[in-house]
Chain A
Amino acid sequence: MALVTVTIDGQTVQAPAGTSVLDAAQSIGIKIPALCYDPDLSAVGACRLCVVEIDGMRNLPTSCVTTCSEGMVVRTNTPAVLEARRTLLELLIANHPLDCMTCEKAGACLLQQYCYEYGVLSSPFKGDQHAYPIDDDNPFYLRDMNKCIVCGRCIRACEEIVGRNVLDFAYRGFNTKVGPFMDTPISESDCVYCGSCIAVCPVGALEEKKMVGVGRTWELEKVRTTCPYCGTGCTFDLNVKNGKVVGVTGTDGDVNGRFLCVKGRFGYEFIHSDDRLKTPLIKKNGEFKEATWTEAFDLIASQFREIKDKHGSDSFGVLSSARCTNEENYLMSKFARAVLGTNNIDHCARL
Chain B
Amino acid sequence: MTNSIGEIANADLILACGTNTMEAHPIIWYKINEALHKGAQLIVVDPRETDMAQLATIHVRLQPGTDIALLNGLMNVIIAEDIYDKKFVKERTLGFEELQQVVAKYTPEYVETITGVPAETIRKVARAYAGAGKSTILYTMGLTQHTIGTDNVLSVANLSMLCGMIGRESTGVNPLRGQNNVQGACDMGALPNVLTAYQNVGVEAVRQKFEPFWNCQISDKPGLAIGEMMTAAGEGRIKGMYIMGENPVLSDPDANHVVHELKHLEFLVVQDIFMTETAQLADVVLPGACFAEKEGTFSSTERRVQRVRKAVEPPGMARPDWEIICGVSTAMGYPMSYASSNEIFDEMRKVTPSYAGISYQRLEKGGLQWPCPNEGHPGTPIMHCNEFVCGIGKFKPAEHVPPDEMPSAEYPLLLDTGRRLYHYHTGTMSRKTMIEDYMSSDTLEINCLDASDLEVCDGDKVRLTSRRGSIEIPVRITETVPKGLVFTSFHFSETPINQLTNPKVDAKSKIPELKVCAVRIEKIA
**Which A residues fall within an 8 A CB radius of B?**
138-140, 160-163, 192-194, 209-210, 221, 223-235, 238, 240, 243-245, 254-256, 259-264, 266-273, 275-283, 288, 291, 293, 296-301, 303-305, 307, 310-311, 313-351
Contacts and interface: CB of A to CB of B under 8 A. Distances in A.
B226 A319 contact: yes
Contacts of A323: 179-181, 245-246, 291
Contacts of A338: 214-216, 218, 334
A254 B214 contact: no
A231 B300 CA distance: 5
Task: Return the 6 tightest CB-CB contacts between A and B, nearest first.
Answer: A233-B300, A278-B316, A325-B296, A321-B245, A343-B223, A163-B33
The residue among A233, A293, A297, A333 with the most chain B CB atoms within 10 A of its own CB is A233
A297 B331 contact: yes
A255 B240 CA distance: 40
Contact of A318 (B241, B283, B317, B327): B241
A229 B425 CA distance: 9
21 contacts: A226-B300, A230-B178, A231-B25, A240-B311, A281-B285, A304-B267, A316-B240, A319-B229, A319-B244, A324-B245, A326-B185, A328-B325, A335-B242, A337-B201, A338-B214, A343-B219, A346-B191, A346-B224, A348-B226, A351-B425, A351-B512
Contact of A223 (B275, B283, B309): B309
B96 interface: no
A348 B293 CA distance: 23
B27 A232 contact: yes
A68 B409 CA distance: 71
The residue among A320, A328, A339 with the most chain B CB atoms within 10 A of its own CB is A328
A333 B188 contact: yes
Nearest to A344: B223
Q: What interface size band does chain B fall in? A: 35 or more
Contacts, number: 465
Interface in B240-291: 240-246, 248, 251-252, 266-267, 269, 272-275, 279, 282-288, 290-291
A282 B298 contact: no
Contacts of A232: 5, 25, 27-28, 176, 300-301
B424 A327 contact: no
Given A342-B219, A350-B226, A162 B430 contact: no
A243 B181 CA distance: 26
B301 A346 contact: no
A319 B286 CA distance: 14
B284 A319 contact: no
Given A225-B309, A279-B317, A326-B348, 11 more contacts: A139-B438, A194-B26, A271-B312, A297-B327, A304-B242, A314-B221, A321-B246, A329-B181, A339-B329, A345-B223, A348-B179
B302 A233 contact: yes
B311 A238 contact: yes
Contact of B178 (A231, A238, A313, A330): A231
A278 to B, nearest CB: 3
B4 to A, nearest CB: 8
Interface stretch (B129-137, B192-200, B388-396, B480-488): B192-200
Contacts of A315: 237-240
Contacts of B311: 221, 223, 225, 238, 240, 245
A116 B75 CA distance: 64
A261 B27 contact: yes
Given A307-B267, A349-B191, A267 B424 contact: yes
A226 B308 contact: yes
B357 interface: no
A138 B438 contact: yes
A255 B25 CA distance: 12
Interface of B: 5-6, 22, 24-30, 32-34, 36-37, 55, 144-145, 176-193, 195-196, 201, 210, 214-219, 221-226, 229, 232-233, 237-246, 248, 251-252, 266-267, 269, 272-275, 279, 282-288, 290-294, 296-302, 304-313, 315-322, 325-334, 336, 341, 344-345, 347-348, 366-367, 421-425, 428-430, 432-435, 437-438, 509-512, 514
A139 B438 CA distance: 7
B216 A347 contact: no
A333 B284 contact: no
A255 B190 contact: no
B403 to A, nearest CB: 17
B317 A228 contact: no
Contacts of B336: 331, 334-335
Nearest to A280: B286
The residue among B298, B318, B322, B347 with the most chain A CB atoms within 10 A of its own CB is B298
Nearest to B215: A338
The residue among B225, B242, B274, B421 with the most chain A CB atoms within 10 A of its own CB is B242
A329 B5 CA distance: 24
Contact of A228 (B188, B193, B319, B429): B429
A163 B29 contact: yes
The residue among A223, A255, A318 with the most chain B CB atoms within 10 A of its own CB is A255
A48 to B, nearest CB: 25
Given A293-B327, A329-B185, A277 B5 contact: no
A254 B290 contact: no
B289 to A, nearest CB: 10
Contacts of A337: 195, 201, 210, 214, 216, 218-219
A316 B229 CA distance: 9
Contacts of B424: 229-230, 263, 267
